[in-house]
Amino acid sequence: MQIESLKVFCDLAETESFTKAAQINGVTQSAVSQQISSLERQFKSLLIERSKKKFRLTREGQVLYDFSKQIIQTYDGLHHKLQEIKDIISGTIRVATIYSIGLHDLPPYIKRFLKDYPTVHVHVEYRRSNQVYEDVFSNIVDLGLVAYPNKDAKLEIVPLRKDPLVLICHPQHPLAKQKGVKLKVVAGQKFIGFEPDIPTRKALDRILKDYGVEVKTVMEFDNIETVKRAVEIDAGISIVPQGTITQEVAKQTLVALTIEDADCFRTLAAIYKKGKVLSPAMKQFINIVKDGGGKSAAA
């Protein structure tokens, strides 16, 4: 019996999907089935109740899962500790990120990290917020990058930074001549918003409610890029993270205004599954994304 077989079994138990377990381990679905069958023969026990309607571990399968998780965590801890002793930082890091962080915040940190650690492969997936959490819980990725992180007993949350929220408008909009505004100016204005399930939308709704401000939402989108394009054609104004509109402000296709009277910011965080043993490469990646740490911090 190999550690790899136990890991495949644990990934299958957690994702409840042969397809995802195969994806995580870089093998075929057939290989996953074969490894599970091999474990069942070795332990002379049925481990999974195979049904088209529902995936479920048997009692024996649950016992094997519980012990296998401990074995894998111990093995990973040993492997990573030996890497630390030898000062080896290599391997693969799988990251799932929401689009706005992946497109605007992450690139300079990825560049810095790869410059310092060229033997590490960083695989980045761009996902909606709920999908990032699903990927982290299912072990499809090692780390997730999100805004307004959800507190969960199964998650470790590493705060990264706070990104101010700013009001954006078309350069010919009446508000564009001002440098800063009060939050109440958005009342009655045509407003371009995020869809209701987007964390930034939920945070904005709370802020607007706290200040007694009602907006006239004319469009809703699930990503920052489409929101910006709508404001660029003067379809309305919006409130977005400052770090996402740097290029548009530089090109003068958008105007960004400071919100003077409200504590408006977006919190960013890295998340990973509780109990996960982080490799030296993952630790350094978090360190750099968090505060520009690592060997090139002074660059």
pLDDT tens for 30-47 read: 999 999 999 989 899 999
* C-beta atoms surrounding 271 within 10 Å: 22
Residue 261: which of 167, 163, 169, 147 has the closest Cα? Answer: 167
Q: Of all helices (H) and strands (E), which one includes residue 183?
A: none
Q: What is the set of domains in the chain, with CATH numbers?
A: 3-84 (1.10.10.10), 87-161+267-291 (3.40.190.10), 163-266 (3.40.190.10)
At residue 152, what is the residue type?
A: D
Query: Is pLDDT of 1 > 60?
Result: no
- Cβ-Cβ contacts under 8 Å for 299 (sequence gap 6 or more): 112
| Residue 205 banded pLDDT, cuts 50, 70, 90 | very high
pLDDT tens for 257-277 read: 999 887 789 999 999 999 888
Query: Is pLDDT of 172 > 90?
Result: yes
| Residue 299 banded pLDDT, cuts 50, 70, 90 | very low
Token duo for residue 172? 């010919």
pLDDT tens for 131-156 read: 999 999 988 899 999 999 999 999 99
Residue 292 confidence (pLDDT): 58
| Residue 298 banded pLDDT, cuts 50, 70, 90 | very low
Mean pLDDT of 117-138: 92
Residue 267 confidence (pLDDT): 93
What rounded mean pLDDT belongs to the chain? 89
pTM: 0.75
Mean pLDDT of 56-68: 91
pLDDT tens for 84-111 read: 777 778 888 999 999 999 999 999 999 9
Query: Is pLDDT of 232 > 50?
Result: yes
Residue 264 confidence (pLDDT): 87
Q: Using CA atoms, how far apart are residues 277 and 76, in angstroms rounded to an integer?
A: 6
